[in-house]
């Protein structure tokens, strides 16, 4: 099996990388509810991400074992049985293993290693992360401007492909007309009008959010597209989000801070191990394919 990289003497083979890429795509399709369409660009990105993940996994596992983290055979078998029981039939279980490109007899060691890494990181998180009421309230007060509901925007949108259409769109949108009358006027010019109602700020691009933030309701604004056209908007209404009470969001705030702290600690551990690691890249041509 062709070796792609060697991490502290442990090889990462082409087969390991290919299997991990397949699993990454399966998970991506499940999470995003899409059918993944591979291109040279997105496959290169995925393969690079997966190779980095495999390197980090080797380093985390070594660190965990060196610090005495252990998992008993009984715990591993219990975990495998729990996973297996979630499938409706033996056929579904075997199909899942086939999709993940792993034989059942090889599953034990992989699950054990996953559990060792998880126990190791959980132990560190539990020792290091503590957010009491005082810390949460301090963060809430320091980030007061962010502790509110999202702004909501209601607006018309149309695309104008040339100067004549831009002028027509502005003239029509200046009218104080009903939705149906405005749509008819746009249809008569060969253009299409869309109305968006109560769109939260986080669904808008940063550029469009700034446009609406600086625009009063009833006013018309525009922004250029990648081509020669313009997107024309008329802001109908904007509702500025109210401040969220501390007691209402403190649980979600704690979840956010814990998640952020976990990621920061994990990144720090990986960075420490990367600085000490001996990593040799044997062949990276697979990343380009």
- DSSP string over 98-116: HHTT--HHHHHHHHHHHHH
Give the CA angle between residues 210, 145, 258 to the nearest 5°: 110
Question: Is residue 267 domain-resident?
Answer: no
Question: According to the model, what pLDDT value does residue 121 have?
Answer: 95
Question: Is residue 246 domain-resident?
Answer: no
Q: Are residues 109 and 222 in the same domain?
A: no
Sheet holding 230-239, edge to edge: 193-200, 152-160, 230-239, 220-224
Question: According to the model, what pLDDT value does residue 100 have?
Answer: 87
> What residues are paired with 280 via a beta bridge?
6
Residue 227: what are its φ and ψ, rounded to 5°?
A: -90, -145
Rounded to 5, what percent of the chain is helix, strand, coil?
60, 15, 25
Question: According to the model, what pLDDT value does residue 78 have?
Answer: 95
The three-class DSSP label of residue 229 is coil
How confident is the prediction along the chain (289 residues), in pLDDT tens digits per residue?
A: 689 999 999 999 999 999 999 999 988 888 877 788 888 888 899 999 999 999 999 999 999 999 999 999 999 999 999 999 999 899 999 998 998 888 888 899 999 999 999 999 999 999 888 888 899 999 999 998 889 999 999 999 999 999 899 999 999 999 888 999 999 999 999 999 999 999 999 999 999 999 898 899 999 999 888 777 899 999 999 999 999 999 999 999 999 999 999 999 999 999 999 999 999 998 878 777 6
CATH number of the domain bearing residue 108: 1.10.4030.10
Q: Are residues 160 and 110 in the same domain?
A: no
CATH number of the domain bearing residue 157: 3.10.50
Residue 36: what are its φ and ψ, rounded to 5°?
A: -65, 130
Q: Are residues 100 and 9 in the same domain?
A: yes
Q: Are residues 120 and 193 in the same domain?
A: no
Please report which helix (H) or strand (E) contains residue 234, including its range.
strand 230-239
pTM: 0.69
Which DSSP string corresponds to 112-133? HHHHHHHHHHHHHHHHH----H
Question: Is residue 208 domain-resident?
Answer: yes
Measuring CA to CA, how many Å separate 124 from each of 116, 120, 137, 173, 206? Answer: 13, 7, 24, 59, 37
Which of the 8 DSSP states describes residue 56? H
Distance CA 286, CA 289 (A): 5
Other CB atoms within 10 Å distance of the CB of residue 43: 16
Number of compact structural domains in the chain: 2
Structure-block tokens of residue 140: 């809430």
Q: Are residues 169 and 232 in the same domain?
A: yes
Question: Is residue 194 domain-resident?
Answer: yes
Q: Are residues 118 and 10 in the same domain?
A: yes
Q: Are residues 281 and 232 in the same domain?
A: no
Question: Is residue 173 domain-resident?
Answer: yes
Question: Is residue 137 domain-resident?
Answer: no
Question: Do 226 and 204 meet the contact criterion of CB atoms below 8 Å apart?
Answer: no
Question: According to the model, what pLDDT value does residue 289 have?
Answer: 60
Closest CA relative to residue 28, chosen from 59, 49, 54? 49
Three-class SS of 161-226: CCHHHHHHHHHHHCCCCCHHHHHHHHHHCCCCEEEEEEEEHHHCCHHHHHHHHCCCCCCEEEEECC
Q: Are residues 111 and 15 in the same domain?
A: yes
Question: According to the model, what pLDDT value does residue 58 have?
Answer: 96
Closest CA relative to residue 226, chosen from 195, 257, 205? 205
Q: Which domain holds residue 19?
A: 3-127+277-288
Q: Are residues 51 and 99 in the same domain?
A: yes
Which contacts of 223-228 are long-range, i.e. CB under 8 A and separated by 24 or more positions? Answer: 225/159, 228/161, 228/162
Question: According to the model, what pLDDT value does residue 177 have?
Answer: 87
Q: Are residues 173 and 80 in the same domain?
A: no
Q: Are residues 66 and 112 in the same domain?
A: yes
Question: Is residue 268 domain-resident?
Answer: no
Closest CA relative to residue 147, chosen from 67, 22, 63, 248? 248
Q: Are residues 157 and 115 in the same domain?
A: no
Question: Is residue 140 domain-resident?
Answer: no
Residue 244: what are its φ and ψ, rounded to 5°?
A: -85, 130
């Amino acid at each position: 099996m062709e070796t792609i990289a060697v991490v502290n003497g442990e090889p990462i083979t082409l087969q390991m990388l290919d299997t991990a890429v397949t699993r990454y795509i399966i998970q991506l399709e499940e999470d995003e509810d899409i059918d993944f369409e591979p291109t040279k660009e997105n496959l290169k990105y995925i393969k690079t991400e997966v190779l980095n993940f495999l390197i980090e996994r080797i380093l985390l596992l070594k660190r965990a074992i060196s610090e005495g983290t252990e998992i008993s055979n009984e715990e591993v078998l219990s975990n495998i049985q729990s996973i297996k029981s979630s499938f409706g039939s033996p056929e579904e279980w075997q199909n899942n293993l086939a999709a993940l490109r792993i034989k059942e007899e090889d599953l034990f060691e992989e699950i054990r290693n996953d559990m060792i890494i998880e126990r190791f990181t959980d132990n560190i998180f539990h020792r290091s992360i503590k957010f009491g009421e005082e810390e949460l309230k301090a963060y809430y007060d320091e980030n007061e401007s962010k502790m509110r509901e999202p702004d909501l925007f209601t607006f018309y949108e149309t695309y104008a492909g040339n100067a004549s259409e831009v002028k027509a769109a502005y003239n029509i949108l200046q009218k104080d007309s009903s939705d149906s009358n405005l749509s008819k006027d746009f249809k008569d010019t060969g253009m299409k009008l869309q109305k968006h109602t109560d769109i939260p700020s986080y669904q808008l691009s940063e550029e469009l959010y700034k446009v609406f933030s600086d625009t009063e309701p009833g006013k018309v604004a525009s922004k250029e597209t990648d081509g020669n056209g313009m997107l024309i908007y008329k802001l109908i209404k904007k509702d500025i989000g109210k401040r969220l009470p501390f007691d209402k969001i403190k649980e979600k705030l704690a979840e956010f801070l814990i998640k952020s702290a976990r990621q920061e600690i994990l990144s720090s551990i990986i960075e420490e191990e990367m600085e000490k690691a001996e990593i040799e890249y044997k062949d990276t041509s697979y990343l380009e394919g």
